Structure 1
């Protein structure tokens, strides 16, 4: 504004001196008006206007009217000299009206929101003055400069956004940060249209993905677009720089969606094609474990993942793959199956290790005694690990000589050390039969000496069947009391009519089969039969009394005593 005041003072002083001197001054003023607004500063410094400041009119813009001066404003003695200026315009005349109109049109070319380029002409604690071609310098607020932490230097050329142009003498307000953001938006939009990558910084995670800072503009990276493979944890990405592509852009909605997957897909697809073309069944390849599950591990062998099943991890029993392998472990694997069309690969790890079954026959001969560790317990027996990768089964029938062996789950726990005997080896099916009772004394070996026929025993009823009752003589030896050998008194339809499970009874050994491990018992033989007593006390022709028990077509049966009947024939 000081420049405008000095220029107007100069014009007013020149007009009051004489009309003869006015033409040269107008020529100079015309030249100055045709130059850019920034060129007015040197003219102000060259004009000795300080002594004439008190004579400046109160309405500055009126100094643009010297060509219309009247007789009152010009001394009479110099009035004739004005005539050449009042003549119609010729080739050397100046149209100040046209100059003023052009100047005003140039000033109105600037509007709030425009992005303009200007030069820093001053910096202070109140802000920065920017000459951008307007009639006066614009101002960047000190608060904005402090917030942006940007240092401006005088003479530096920068881009700014016009925030406002006041109607009065107040300077235009400019924004450097808005210009930067606009440039960033322009760069982002250009990258989106040209399908170029952009690099940003991951600042935080949000619902469904990550927040990315693109030079001050916030963008969204969905979790599904972070990588070609599933991502378990987003926290590990926070703070990292990431290269992405823009898959959705809207400046109006302030919405930018990014994808890193479109970049990784291209790389992975190239690697996948190369890998599938260079491998085959039986090949040994390098890989990296990318994911672990209960049933195995997924191994990246170069752009494609293969499945390493838990059964192909070790020759031995493997409970949890995570106990032996970790994510990002590097390892060698063997290609077991390959389906190029479906892009499925089965891998093996144990196939690169020595097979322990190749020496089982030499290591575990039949009847040899060894110590192992219980690896699994089932209702039908226990599995015993003899060495890593080699297991044998002790069937429930081989645990004890007793035919009523308890549930193995109640007798053994995983990890128990047991002594077993090798009963058989099948290398083709990779099976080993083991026994435990063979290491115990067989109670049937000397059964005939310990329980000769006629020996009275005392035992407990362990089981009842339709044909008799099993009585435990000792641990591992049961004897059978047939239903017909339970009592003399009456004919039983089922042993349960007279006996109960766990009932203690007495019996006599009637027969022994050591080879077949069978022992026959009789309960009724403990007492004399009714027939023997009757025969001893009666002779033919004796008269006896009895009770008719049943009728038949050929006669009647008469009960003569308990368990003794006689027939009275119809004849």
Structure 2
């Protein structure tokens, strides 16, 4: 201390212009040591670098090679002494801001790693398997691609929060995804504390799925199910809601444990279906606007939130398969008739064709069950045929009604598309739009005409060992079994009967289900003989024909 005062005294004697206080401040430079941390206030920038006032007569210099952010120069900075007296800088002390900054940044990163606190980073460049990230203070880290929230990110300097997940020596690994999870976890906790079911919230649509839309409400993505977007039907999701759209919604449910929240956009307005029963009635005509078209029909907006379905079968009386997309471009205005309302299920059925009278109703007076009609075969199916009767009616000819006796397995063997045929109406119901037709009923029912015990004449058609196929009348055939041809035994059928022979017999069986009429010549002959015997004999007559048949 005495040496220092002596030097100062000598300097004072040599320089009258320098005060004692200035010399004392000048002497403070001698107390600066390399590595020492001092506080400096930025004065100005010079060609040499940054000039700082560190409480000494001489200003200290920070080399211009160090780039100090402009925004931090307004506050005092901690600086590290590099050289107390730098001849290259006019004898001023040479300091470093970067050394202090890097040391503090490294310490902050270590503390963030240990406390699992997210830090700020910026994409520097893409590398194999991920990205290199600038953490500031000269520190770089590697971020695996799977830990980035954006795929195929470009080295654009994008800034983001990340979590240090590994720190060994100079190697640092970070994760943007895990940092986002932490942020969202904190935000979610705040949301569950702040809101309750029934509260209204604002958010931004972040993504769309087939089942609904996800809305960011400030740290958690809540789901708006497709059924809760609109009171009316939702066809294509992006026609009702879009990514980036700001929406208001009502909280429908909250599950804090699962971190799930369900929202409803349509619940922000009253349910229009509650007043449907008051405003509309079955049979009334409404104006509506066509919406989405499907294979089975067209959805039509009757009013906001209230849609009705115009089924394909209710478009045209005569065309069962109209081109819906061509007939009903989206946004077209049409009139339609309400044919059913189910407000509880939010359903209204519409009809276009019922705006005009039904051809079934027009034909009600002219067509009756039992009438004979002409028709044209429109389609042949395995079950029969569809026959057009008149200008607009289509009736059904079932395979069972083609023939009384033949069991038709393939209707195409009897019917051809475009063929004109005569038919008998079995049933006509205009209300249910049902017309049942029959080909076989053009003739009377042979099983009712030729009942059991009926005596008839017939003609042999086919002779076979088992018996004879006979024609009772045109289109009506019967069968005489071998043992019912004659009482004689042992003779071959071919020796007894020839095709074309006339036979008289009695019906033993008349079964519509089996499509079979069986005849006995033998029993008829026995009856005839008994009648003759009874006529010429005083004895009690034997069993009658009815008695014999009852024994069958």
**Do these two structures clear the TM 0.5 threshold for a shared fold by scoring above it?**
yes
| Aligned mates of 2:217, 2:238 — CA distance in 1 | 19
Corresponding residue for 2:251?
Answer: 335
Distance 1:256 1:306, change over 3 A: same
Q: Is the 8 A contact 1:484 1:491 kept in 2?
A: no
Distance 1:519 1:321, change over 3 A: closer
| Aligned mates of 2:403, 2:186 — CA distance in 1 | 89
Q: How does 1:391-402 map to 2 (within 5 A)?
A: 391-401=307-317
Q: Is the 8 A contact 2:229 2:264 kept in 1?
A: yes
User: 1:569 deviation in Å?
Assistant: 0.8
TM-score computed with the length of structure 2 as normaliser: 0.56
Corresponding residue for 2:376?
Answer: 459
Q: How does 1:77-92 map to 2 (within 5 A)?
A: none
Corresponding residue for 1:186?
Answer: 103
1:505 aligns with 2:423: no
Corresponding residue for 1:569?
Answer: 521
Q: Deviations over 1:498-521 (max 9, x none)?
A: 423414122155566354655565
User: 1:188 deviation in Å?
Assistant: 3.6
Corresponding residue for 1:140?
Answer: none
Q: Deviations over 1:39-92 (max 9, x none)?
A: xxx9xxxxxxxxxxxxxxxxxxxxxxxxxxxxxxxxxxxxxxxxxxxxxxxxxx
* Rg comparison, structure with higher value: 1
1:370 aligns with 2:307: no
Q: How does 1:128-143 map to 2 (within 5 A)?
A: none
| Aligned mates of 2:403, 2:420 — CA distance in 1 | 12
Give the 3-state SS of the residue equivalent to 2:232 in structure 1.
coil
| Aligned mates of 1:261, 1:336 — CA distance in 2 | 28
Corresponding residue for 1:277?
Answer: 193
Give the 3-state SS of the residue equivalent to 1:384 in structure 2.
strand
Corresponding residue for 1:173?
Answer: none
Distance 1:565 1:370, change over 3 A: farther
Residue among 336, 353, 357 paired with 2:273? 357
Q: Is the 8 A contact 2:340 2:348 kept in 1?
A: yes
Distance 1:264 1:316, change over 3 A: same
Q: Is the 8 A contact 1:221 1:257 kept in 2?
A: yes
Q: Deviations over 1:279-334 (max 9, x none)?
A: 22112233344444343333333433321222212222334444444555443321
User: 1:473 deviation in Å?
Assistant: 1.5
Q: Structure 1: which 5+ residue stretches go unaligned? A: 1-33, 36-41, 43-114, 118-126, 129-144, 160-178, 531-539
Q: Structure 2: which 5+ residue stretches go unaligned? A: 5-10, 12-33, 37-47, 50-62, 69-85, 447-454, 470-479, 487-496, 506-519, 526-552
Corresponding residue for 1:123?
Answer: none
1:238 aligns with 2:172: no
Corresponding residue for 1:220?
Answer: 142
User: 1:266 deviation in Å?
Assistant: 5.7
User: 1:389 deviation in Å?
Assistant: 2.0
Distance 1:451 1:247, change over 3 A: closer
Q: Is the 8 A contact 2:123 2:134 kept in 1?
A: yes
- The structure whose residues are more often strand, as a share, is 2
| Aligned mates of 1:182, 1:389 — CA distance in 2 | 66
Q: Is the 8 A contact 2:125 2:131 kept in 1?
A: no
Q: Is the 8 A contact 2:402 2:408 kept in 1?
A: no
Corresponding residue for 2:228?
Answer: 312
Residue among 191, 197, 214 paired with 1:298? 214
Q: Deviations over 1:8-64 (max 9, x none)?
A: xxxxxxxxxxxxxxxxxxxxxxxxxx99xxxxxx9xxxxxxxxxxxxxxxxxxxxxx
Q: Deviations over 1:109-162 (max 9, x none)?
A: xxxxxx879xxxxxxxxx99xxxxxxxxxxxxxxxx998799973223236xxx
User: 1:422 deviation in Å?
Assistant: 0.3
1:555 aligns with 2:485: yes
Corresponding residue for 1:135?
Answer: none
Distance 1:191 1:441, change over 3 A: same
TM-score computed with the length of structure 1 as normaliser: 0.55
Corresponding residue for 1:157?
Answer: 93
User: 1:351 deviation in Å?
Assistant: 0.4
